[in-house]
């Protein structure tokens, strides 16, 4: 077994506050995990991440495999040393690329669908534009793995559960995920079930490959991923199966409608052992994070904070605002007076709006810094509230103001 240790220190309903101990430091949970896709959180220095309160970062296996290659990262001393990050690290499995390169490629679909059904053809969102610009157009999924083209040069590559684990061993993160298939939310029930069963087989193979590496088993923890789309029966079945395999922690994958998210959690979580950490993959919208915490999730990661920041939007307690709007050109108020973020104290909305309109990179960096600080403070506040027995009121107050 790995060196990972998890203890639950306080509870309020299903919500829980705990301590996750890794070889490279402790993580107080619940915690938000900034995404450092290519061993960097876009535009944010590691020292700034620390000042914002980040406890752990997550990097992308697919991207680091293609560039610079996992062997370079290994030679550097592992992910944390390579990026000069002083705390714990995580890596995903590359499984999301099965989703973004395969069945979902070219559609306006993210991990979380909005509404009961999304049409296959409609306007392309900012997220999808980024996915399409980053990735090649070929991904062929079979029971053994996925074959795909590199978005860098069109070369052909293949991931299997064993190869994903091998790459993640080289990257050396404290925690990593088993290889899975994350389907599009709109796939029919029959395909969701097929993909779930394939994920279960891949989970067994991932776990076997990890346990066969004795040194990695001692220093790295592997999380199994629950799938099943928006269907409660599949989520329950998947959670029961993944829980039986002997993982060090558990991830709940995306691929459900926003309206079904709570139901998916309620179906899965009772089947997972209480004493292990739970990670909600790809979840970063403030209300969704609080829903996840209320249902018993411990860790959350998402690119949304920096992605919307680069496009000029920031979170506030009164809801998100887009600083490229005309009314902010002469707004000399603080960026967000209700949520002071370290390093952002002197910047006004007018100044950041100017940077964004002028196409200066600082504008996107400042918005990204603010958004990361906002989300980290939101989750930190939830953790304190759980410990003090007032999380329900904390969540209700935030939700009322944010969505009013």
CA distance linking residue 53 with residue 193, whole number of Å: 39
Q: What is the pLDDT along the chain (404 residues), one digit of tens a residue?
A: 688 999 999 999 999 999 999 999 999 999 999 999 999 999 999 999 999 999 999 999 999 999 999 999 999 999 999 999 999 999 999 877 655 654 444 433 345 554 333 333 333 333 333 334 344 456 788 899 998 888 788 888 999 999 999 999 999 999 999 999 888 788 899 999 999 999 999 999 999 999 999 999 999 999 999 999 889 999 999 999 999 999 999 999 866 667 788 998 999 999 999 999 999 999 999 999 999 999 999 999 999 999 999 999 999 999 999 999 999 999 999 999 999 999 999 999 999 999 999 999 999 999 999 999 999 999 999 999 999 999 999 999 999 999 98
CA 208, chain centre distance (Å): 25
CA distance linking residue 15 with residue 6, whole number of Å: 15
222 sits in which H/E element:
strand 221-226
CA distance linking residue 162 with residue 210, whole number of Å: 8
Question: What per-residue confidence (pLDDT) applies to 99?
Answer: 58
* Phi/psi of residue 222, nearest 5 degrees: -115, 130
Of the residues 180, 288, 301, 336, which is catalytic?
301
Question: What per-residue confidence (pLDDT) applies to 111?
Answer: 52
Active site residue 301: yes
| Residue 215: other Cβ atoms inside 10 A | 8
Of the residues 92, 128, 174, 260, which is catalytic?
92
Question: What per-residue confidence (pLDDT) applies to 179?
Answer: 96
Number of residues written out for the chain: 404
* Best CA proximity match to 32, nearest among 227, 305, 324, 369: 305
Active site residue 274: no
Q: For tokens 């997972």, what's the residue?
A: 272
- Is 5-310 a CATH 3.20.20.140 domain? no
Output DSSP code: residue 289: H
């Amino acid at each position: 077994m790995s060196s990972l240790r998890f203890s639950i220190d306080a509870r309020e309903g299903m919500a829980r506050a705990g301590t996750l101990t890794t070889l490279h430091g402790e993580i107080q949970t619940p915690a938000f995990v900034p995404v450092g896709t290519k061993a960097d959180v876009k535009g944010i220095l590691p020292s700034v991440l620390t000042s914002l309160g980040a406890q752990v970062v997550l990097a992308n296996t697919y991207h680091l495999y293609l560039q610079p290659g996992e062997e370079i990262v290994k030679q550097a001393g592992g992910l944390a040393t390579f990026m000069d990050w002083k705390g714990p690290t995580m890596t995903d499995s590359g499984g999301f690329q099965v989703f973004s390169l395969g069945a979902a490629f070219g559609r306006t679909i993210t991990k979380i669908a909005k509404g009961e059904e999304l049409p296959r053809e409609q306007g392309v969102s900012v997220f999808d534009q980024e996915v399409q610009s980053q990735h090649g157009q070929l991904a062929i999924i079979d029971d053994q793995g996925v074959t795909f083209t590199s978005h860098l040069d069109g070369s052909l590559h293949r991931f299997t559960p064993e190869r994903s684990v091998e790459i993640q061993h080289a990257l050396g993160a404290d925690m990593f995920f088993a290889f899975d298939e994350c389907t599009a939310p709109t796939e029919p029930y029959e395909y969701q079930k097929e993909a779930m069963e394939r994920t279960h087989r891949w989970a067994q193979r991932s776990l076997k490959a990890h346990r066969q590496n004795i040194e990695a088993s001692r220093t790295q923890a592997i999380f199994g991923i629950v799938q099943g789309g928006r269907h409660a029966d599949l989520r329950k079945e998947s959670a029961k199966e993944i829980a039986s395999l002997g993982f060090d922690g558990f991830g709940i994958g995306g691929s459900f409608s926003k309206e079904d998210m709570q139901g998916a959690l309620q179906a899965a979580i009772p089947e997972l052992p209480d004493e292990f950490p739970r990670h909600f993959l790809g979840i970063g919208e403030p209300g969704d994070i609080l829903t996840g915490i209320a249902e018993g999730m411990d860790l959350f990661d998402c690119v949304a904070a920096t992605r919307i920041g680069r496009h000029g939007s920031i979170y506030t307690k009164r809801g998100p605002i887009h600083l490229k709007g005309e009314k902010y050109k002469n707004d000399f108020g603080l960026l967000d007076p209700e949520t002071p973020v370290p390093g952002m104290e002197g910047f006004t909305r007018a100044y950041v709006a100017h940077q964004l309109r002028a196409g200066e990179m600082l504008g996107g960096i400042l918005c990204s810094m603010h958004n990361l600080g906002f989300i980290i403070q939101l989750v930190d506040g939830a953790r304190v509230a759980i410990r003090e027995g007032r999380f329900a009121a904390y969540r209700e107050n935030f939700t009322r103001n944010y969505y009013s």
